[in-house]
Amino acid sequence: MFFPENFKNKKILIYGYGKTGKSVQNYFIKNKIKHTIWDDNEKLNIKKIDKKYYLKKYDYIILSPGVDIYHHKKKNFFRKHRKNIITDLDIFFLDEKKIRYIIGVTGTNGKSSFCNLLDNLIRKNNIRSRVIGNFGNPVLNEKISGNEYCILELSSYQLDYSKYIKLDSACILNISADHLDRHETMTKYKKTKLKIFNFLKSGGVGFYQKKSFPNLKKIKNIRNFNNINKLLVQKILNNNNILIPEINLKENKLPHRYEMFYKISNFNFINDSKSTNFDSTRYALKMTSNSILILGGLLKKRDNFFLKGFQNKIVKIYLFGNNVDELKKSLKKQKINYSYFLNLEDLLRYISVKDFKKSLNKRKIFNILFSPGAASFDQYKNFEQRGKIFKKYVYKFFKR
């Protein structure tokens, strides 16, 4: 067993003291492993903090995925320690826990919903299963038995920093421009996503969307697919005893992911706050007609905001947020009109007066589509909080 023996008498730094960092600390305390901690938020009250970490050498740095080592003010420290960086996922796998079957899932959009779909299908066959990784609780907080299926949702950040993940099967759902503020180019972003196949066990199988990697050379045990369907899911699960009905992704949607949560008269309200890039917004528009579209937030670097081919699905566009100048410029260039508000409260109050009351009870069905196409951090803690605030104001201004 690698841990905790190989951590004894080593110099170890936990970098980042959010949920992930705290779970690593708890693991170390339980196994009596000495360590120090640093977080870039100096206001946090942390014991064992190492303020001069950047002047020292470490055998291991357990890095929280949210830390950007490439554009960090101490990037030279990380460059020197690049080979020493691991993640909580590495600790989980190096601990050599016995797990029945591990599936890795990554992609730009739809990871959580697809993981939820796999989890539900397995559970319906009376087999124990759970989703771990970039989904809910940190993996080191999970108590996993040897007869379970584990579905591991992997972000590009986790793939970039991890070294010891071991997968029975792996899938890249799709790729579009995202997180380029860190990865800088689509080539680097794609290369990071493809790293998931390096973590396959001997005999493991991988799958990727053909459209996302049209020129990928043939690799043994790595296959492409066009659409998510029953056959693909069967191959990923690799278990003939798991009965799979026809795949219905809509039934496995999670909150804030194209969530149709409220209806009043001829108005439907859709919460798609998980939309943090414009490709996910275009995907939502494909499923929606007569849209009163709400966009805004912290725009992704080098994202494109083209709505060509979608104008016939959009009735009006409203923008909100602190950082939407590039989006405004793009819409003007496309000759698309919009109205701007600083916050969601003022925006939804306006819609309730100018759109809702004027069009109420008409034969035409309208869809208020909240699919921001941008990150939430300009005004909110995360996309979940943003989605909850959106719902709050909908219930406030659009009463039955």
- Residue 343 binned pLDDT confidence (cut-offs 50, 70, 90): very high
Determine the structural domain holding residue 137 and report its residue range: 95-250
Residue 1 has pLDDT above 50, yes or no: no
pLDDT digits (tens, 9 = 90+) for 152-193: 999 999 999 999 999 999 999 999 867 767 777 889 999 999
Residues 205 and 294 in one domain: no
- With a cut of 90, say whether residue 347 has pLDDT above it: yes
Question: How big is the CA angle at 181 (ends 105 and 134), to the nearest 5 degrees?
Answer: 25
Instruction: Verify that 238 and 114 share a domain, yes or no.
Output: yes
Within 10 angstroms of residue 113's Cβ, the number of other Cβ atoms is 17
| Same domain for 216 and 267 | no
Q: What is the pLDDT of residue 90?
A: 95
Same-domain check for residues 100 and 19: no
Q: What CATH number is given to the structural domain containing 187?
A: 3.40.1190.10
Nearest to 176 by CA among 111, 255, 89, 270: 111
What sections of the chain are H helices per DSSP? Answer: 19-30, 75-80, 88-94, 111-124, 156-161, 180-183, 186-194, 230-237, 278-286, 325-333, 344-351, 357-359, 383-397
**Other CB atoms closer than 10 Å to residue 264's CB: what's the count?**
13
342 and 357 share a domain? yes
Last residue of a domain, one of 250, 268, 296: 250
pTM: 0.83
Same-domain check for residues 278 and 222: no
Burial track 325-336 (b if 16+ CB lie within 10 A, e otherwise)? eebeebbeeeee
Percent of the chain, pLDDT > 90?
A: 74
What is the per-residue pLDDT across 103-155, written as a single tens digit (0 to 9) for each? Answer: 999 999 889 989 999 999 999 999 999 999 988 789 999 989 889 999 999 99
Based on the fold, state whether residues 126 and 228 are members of the same structural domain: yes
Token representation of residue 143: 């108590």
CA 173-147-23 angle, to 5 degrees, is 70
My answer on whether 310 and 233 are in the same domain is no
Which of 220, 250, 280 is at the close of a domain?
250
Q: pLDDT: is 120 or 8 the higher one? A: 120
The edge-to-edge listing of strands for the beta sheet with 291-296 is 259-264, 267-271, 366-370, 291-296, 314-320, 339-341
CATH number for the domain that contains residue 287:
3.90.190.20
Residue 69 has pLDDT above 70, yes or no: yes
Average pLDDT of 344-365? Answer: 90
In terms of domains, do 270 and 297 share one?
yes
Convert the pLDDT of each residue in 262-272 to its tens digit: 999 999 999 99
Q: What is the pLDDT of residues 201-251, one digit of tens each?
A: 999 999 999 999 999 998 889 999 999 999 999 999 999 889 888 777 666
Domain count for the chain, please give it. 3
